[in-house]
Structure formats: C-alpha cells, structure tokens
Amino acid sequence: MRQRCLHTTQPAVEEREETEELIQLTHIIVDCSSFPYIDLMGVDALARAHAEYQAINITVFFACCKVAVRQMFENSHFYQHVPKSYMFVSLQDAVAQAQYEQEKNIRLHESLESVPNRFSVSSDVYFGSHPLLFFHYEINGNFSKC
C-alpha cells in the first residue's frame, strides 16, 4: 500500500507492508430469502455452482428458501444433485452446521497429525510388464501383505 505523507521530514511516498492472513474457504451459504421464485435456469445455475464448488471441496448450503422455491427444487429434481441435508430453514442453522463441520475437520486433522504415519510400497504384482504399486499403511507401524 502506498501512502502520501504531508510532513517534509519524511519521504514523499512511504511503503507499508501489510500482512495478509490466509483463510481456507470451506463453506458457502446462499441466502435464498430474497428469491420470490426461481425458474429452471436458476435451478440449473445453483446445481452447477454446487457441483463446481463440491469438486474443489467447498460445501454449498442453501438457507431460507421460500415455499415456491422449494417446490421448484422438488419438481425439477434439484435434490438429485444437491442433498436435502444442505437446505436450512434459517441462516443461523446453516452457519452453525458449517462451524460444526469445520471444527470436526480440524479435530480430525489434528488427530491424524499426532499419529505416526508409516508407508511401504509393494511392487510384486504386475499388469502386463508393468508393476502395480500397492501402498500399505498401518497406524502401529506393522505392515501386512495383501
């Protein structure tokens, strides 16, 4: 960020370093309360957005859907693409579920980091002339042949 200084004893332009905190995006909550209705194009756009974000491990929740919108979701088979468990009555419910899932994932990663990982590679199975590699992993460090 560049900033002009008014004092003559300081340089005309002062450089300031800003530290940016990286935040991992895990959830997106779509507030549907302002949708009075939705057409097939809108349903398709929401389903595609859900699929695209799911492909990069971001969960999309939908909150506050009006009756007409929920009926259109039902009639257009939207729930074949988006689970009904991703639909919430209120924003607070969606936020609470997102926070719960984030905390659960953090606890899971912390518990996995505390366990010593041991891997081995086995290449004694062949597909044609190419060896197939099998990775054996056991928490206690003992490896068994498949």
pLDDT tens string 86-118 = 999 999 999 999 999 999 988 887 777 665 655
Confirm whether 47 is domain-assigned. yes
Mean pLDDT of the chain: 77
Same domain, 129 and 66: no
Confirm whether 46 is domain-assigned. yes
- pLDDT value for 107: 85
Structural domain tally of the chain?
2
- pLDDT value for 50: 96
Same domain, 110 and 124: no
Instruction: Quickly list DSSP for the chain.
Output: -EEE---TTS-SEEE-----------EEEEEGGG-S---HHHHHHHHHHHHHHHHTT-EEEEE---HHHHHHHHHTTGGGTS-GGGEESSHHHHHHHHHHHHHHHHHHHHHHHHSPP-EEEEEEEEETTEEEEEEEE-TTS-----
Q: What is the pTM of this model?
A: 0.61
